[in-house]
A = this chain, B = another copy of it.
Amino acid sequence: MPDEQDVTAVGASAHGRHIPPASLARLTVYLRVLGTMLTEGVERVSSEELAEAAGVNSPKLRKDLSYLGSYGTRGVGYDVPYLSGQISAALGLTLDWRVAIVGAGHLGRALAGYPGFGTRGFEVVALFDADPMTVGQEIGWLRISPVNSLERVLETTRANMAVLAVPAEAAQQMCDRLVKAGITSILSFAPVVLQAPPEVQIRKVDMATELQILAYHAQRAQVAALATDAQARLMR
């Protein structure tokens, strides 16, 4: 496994240390907010303002930024374009990310047409489907490729990331093929636990999980409301 000490002389971010997962997730939010500020022509921003716009408190934001380095000016704030560039660099967004989407159902098409990708360093280079009827259709600038050409197309397009938008039954099989083809970063929308070698980074998004978490909190809120209600009734 990669050791920490040999990353000292590396890249744009002088701070070779790893970023805590929670901070990492928030940094992507800051980056997005800074992006909209850029288009609005905002040049400077304080940690307080940026935190407010990102929905966090300012000490947390400053701590998050401190994992990257010291890119602000005390007494003044942050230079929006500069900070934006530094976060991008730290996240590795200055590299070339070529994304293959496997599955061209509604979800795959939604992803292929997602406007947020191009503007943030990601290029969708391939879109696959198993259904012969949909193969060949054009989505934006992309033509849907047959899934049996997966390995060949991945190589010619030099894709280095993949998104799984296939039914649960097909997910593990597709994951295996992607891994065998050398893909090491996979984002899966399939509601299954994928098995893959540890060097493969897998992130998963599951809408049912998200709703269930909401349901849990909503249920607690209901119960709490009933409890205080009953209590109020007892007290009067």
Where the two chains meet, the residues of A that have a C-beta atom closer than 8 Å to any C-beta of B are 1-4, 6-7, 9-13, 18-19, 21-22, 24-25, 28-29, 31-33, 53-55, 90-93, 95, 97, 99, 105-107, 109-111, 113-114, 116-117, 120-122, 160-161, 163, 168, 184-187, 191-195, 199, 201, 203, 205-228, 231
Give Cα distance in the complex from A93 to B208, angstroms.
11
Give Cα distance in the complex from A191 to B114, angstroms.
10
**A13 CB contacts on chain B under 8 angstroms:** 220, 223
Least CB distance from A124 to B in Å reads 10
* This protein's copies in its complex: 2
Whether A185 contacts B214 by the Cβ 8 Å rule is yes
Least CB distance from A192 to B in Å reads 8
Least CB distance from A193 to B in Å reads 5
Q: A18-B220, A191-B32 are in contact. Are A215 and B10 (CB under 8 A)?
A: no
A-B contact pairs, 5 of them (CB 8 A): A13-B223, A32-B208, A92-B215, A97-B215, A116-B207
Give Cα distance in the complex from A180 to B18, angstroms.
42
Beyond A6-B231, A28-B209, A201-B217, 19 extra complex contacts between A and B, CB < 8 Å: A2-B221, A6-B227, A7-B220, A10-B223, A24-B216, A90-B216, A91-B216, A92-B220, A95-B219, A107-B110, A110-B110, A111-B207, A114-B207, A117-B208, A121-B215, A160-B218, A186-B214, A201-B221, A203-B214
Residue of B nearest to A60 (CB): B3
Give Cα distance in the complex from A163 to B213, angstroms.
13
**A185 CB contacts on chain B under 8 angstroms:** 214-215, 217-218
Least CB distance from A161 to B in Å reads 6
Least CB distance from A182 to B in Å reads 12
Whether A24 contacts B160 by the Cβ 8 Å rule is no
Least CB distance from A138 to B in Å reads 15
Give Cα distance in the complex from A113 to B21, angstroms.
32
Whether B6 contacts A228 by the Cβ 8 Å rule is yes
Whether B208 contacts A205 by the Cβ 8 Å rule is no
Give Cα distance in the complex from A209 to B23, angstroms.
12
**A1 CB contacts on chain B under 8 angstroms:** 22, 25
**A193 CB contacts on chain B under 8 angstroms:** 29, 33, 53-55
Residue of B nearest to A188 (CB): B210
Give Cα distance in the complex from A2 to B138, angstroms.
39
